[in-house]
Structure 1
Amino acid sequence: MYSKDDMILWSMVSSMVINIGKIEVLAFSSNHLFKIFKKSSEMGVNLFNSSYNEKIEIINMLKDGIEKEKLKVFFGDFVAIRNLKTQLLKEKEIMNRENIKIATYFCQDYPNKLRKTKLPPYVIFYKGFLPCDKDLENAISIVGTRFPEDKGIVEFTEEITYYLKKKTTYNISGLAKGCDTIGHKITLKNRIKNVAILGQGLGSDIYPLENKKLSEIILQEKGALISEIPPTLGVKGVYLLQRNRLQAYLADSIFVLESGKKGGTITTIKNAFDEKRRVYIRNIKTNHSIFNLKNINKVSFISNSSDIEYIDLLTRQPYTLFTFEYF
């Protein structure tokens, strides 16, 4: 079994970034990395401490390809593993100094909603109060574009929040500008706790900077800031995209206030489809790529809280969604 330190090492490996031209991408395929993590755990082989032959035996279980060869090179490089362990000491120093706590994949307080998903994080780094499984029942996620144009979004969010607050204990969002910020502020005003999932390490400066005060309020109201990124690492575009899946994983229902043709909201919706979450959408700008999504028929379009009640009456079976068009 991997120790907590080993799990932090896994989070460090999964957060490694390389540049391809001007684009930053993860160094290793998340799917391939998680497969060898699971297989090594099941076989009792610690890839950070075992012999070269044991490591290669595990990695050889993957299908042949570039990713398999990359993993062989990395885990076979004892200098790289030693450097990783040296960096681990720095991560732990930051954790102690900033009061950053962790829940690993094997911990009892790690949310089952995450553990059951396609790509769960190895570690949740968090500040504040990590919600338990019961707390996350009926959790919502209010998300959307950073630059909303619909002037009725604030009033709409206030209405649905008032409707949902009787059965909702948490709003899970990303602390981004625009729709995320609107959702955080209005749910907090209605005494709904918040979890902000960040695309950065919790030891780095809050992004965006203008939401630093909002992050402090979330903590004051017994919510949490969480991340799967090791504490010393700053914000990156690839991390922001990765964190969007966690919003979909932790919530039961996703409320999209407004979406453009690309960006994090589309990623959140796709992950919500994968995990069979309910998706409600207030407004989609016309001719945008969301209409080309494979599961667009699973989206419920709403214009007010009575639409939610109507859809809930229709959907007696779990995750059976009806499209409710609005113009």
Structure 2
Amino acid sequence: MYSKDDMILWSMIGSMVIDIGKIEVLAFSPEYLFRIFKKSSELGVNILNENYNEVLEVIGTLKDGMEKEKIKNFFGDFRLLQNLRKQIEKEKEVMEKNEIKFITYFCSNYPKKLRKYKIPPFVLYYKGRELDEDNLEKSICIVGTRKPESQGIEEFTEELVKNMKADLKYNISGLALGCDFIGHKITLKYGIKNIAVLGQGLGSEIYPKEHMDLAKEILGNGGTIVSEIPPSLKIKGVYLLQRNRLQAYLAEELLILETGRKGGTMTTLKVAFLEKKRVYIRNIKINQTVFNLKNISKVTFISSYSDIKLIKILTSKPNTLFTFEFS
């Protein structure tokens, strides 16, 4: 029902940003927007086709509220939608120029696991090898702070990766400085393919620019660079939050090397727990301080690969030993 061009348009709508004071936020709640998309798909109604009665039919099935009124006004503004449609050809030109491919929610090769989550991407734009659905089941997401303070972090990561490499097919991370970089480099060293999830369009300059060579190395070793952001759009803080969610969706396990009380790692962690992913947290003082906050309980730390082996024995299903209570 929705064409590939329509799906690019959905991804553009989902990436629209507005300014609120000193911060930027998405124009629409991603969860609410996806509900509109899914409901219209179930009803067989293309609400991008400039029929306001059909728009109202779909939106009328959802709960009332401020978000509903925003959505109603937006999808009723057909001139705005027409202007957005003009941008589709520009996005396709950027894709062709930069060898960017894409798959949509309706494509047969769209990862099936993504469809079961609360806010799956409308489109996955990617460079490099297509995502391997089977190998995604044997993946880990190695993340953490951009400025790790503790000693021995690389040795710890290498010990884990060396012991896990026989069963590990993908490392999924965000190409960021610090812990992400450590995870990418060590897994590449042991022949594990990498998926770098970016908070920007793939036609814009790689962020951070220091990792342009790392991005090339990932692609050169059979990996993938992926984003749900339309290709022409540059990096934004709000897109990095979307990136963190997608990392947790794609990976089966999460390894936190080091983190502060705030930041992208905590966003990834929350999604991982909500989706019942298995989570490993490196046992160091700074992590113990962060994860002993009042709103978090029953956290277990790991010091070596033997701890991971024990966790996997105790949890035969891909679930976590830890429970978090977020305020």
Same fold (TM over 0.5): yes
Which residue matches 2:74?
Answer: 74
* Equivalent residue runs for 1:54-73 within 5 Å: 54-73=54-73
* 1:34-86 deviation line (CA, Å, top 9, x unaligned): 00100000111111114111111111222111111111111100110001100
Which residue matches 2:210?
Answer: 210
Structure 1 SS opposite 2:127: strand
CA contact (8 A) 1:311 1:322 kept: no
Amino acid at match of 1:243: R
Structure 1 SS opposite 2:293: helix
Structure 2 SS opposite 1:261: coil
Structure 2 SS opposite 1:181: helix
Shift of 1:288: 3.1
**2-side partners of 1:154 and 1:97: how far apart?**
37
**2-side partners of 1:131 and 1:253: how far apart?**
17
**2-side partners of 1:115 and 1:240: how far apart?**
21
**1-side partners of 2:253 and 2:295: how far apart?**
18
CA contact (8 A) 2:278 2:318 kept: no
* 1:127-174 deviation line (CA, Å, top 9, x unaligned): 001222111112001000000001110000000000110100000000
Residue number among 287, 290, 308 corresponding to 1:288 in the alignment: 290
Shift of 1:290: 6.9
**1-side partners of 2:272 and 2:192: how far apart?**
21
5+ long unaligned stretches in structure 1: none
* 1:87-143 deviation line (CA, Å, top 9, x unaligned): 111101101111110011111111112111111000000000122211111200100
**2-side partners of 1:188 and 1:305: how far apart?**
19
- 1:19 matched to 2:19? The reply is yes
- What TM-score results when the alignment is normalised by the length of structure 1? 0.95
Residues 104 and 56 of structure 1: is their aligned pair in 2 closer, same or farther, counting only changes over 3 Å? same
**2-side partners of 1:229 and 1:240: how far apart?**
10
- What TM-score results when the alignment is normalised by the length of structure 2? 0.95
CA contact (8 A) 2:252 2:318 kept: no
CA contact (8 A) 2:50 2:76 kept: no
5+ long unaligned stretches in structure 2: none
**1-side partners of 2:152 and 2:249: how far apart?**
28
Which residue matches 2:314?
Answer: 314
Moved over 2 A (4+): 283-294
Amino acid at match of 2:244: N
Which residue matches 2:88?
Answer: 88
Q: Percent identity?
A: 61
Residues 322 and 288 of structure 1: is their aligned pair in 2 closer, same or farther, counting only changes over 3 Å? closer
Which residue matches 1:118?
Answer: 118
Shift of 1:300: 3.6
CA contact (8 A) 1:262 1:289 kept: no
- 1:235 matched to 2:235? The reply is yes
RMSD between aligned alpha carbons? 1.4
**1-side partners of 2:2 and 2:94: how far apart?**
22
Which residue matches 2:147?
Answer: 147
**1-side partners of 2:255 and 2:83: how far apart?**
43
Shift of 1:320: 5.1
Which residue matches 1:5?
Answer: 5
Shift of 1:318: 3.9
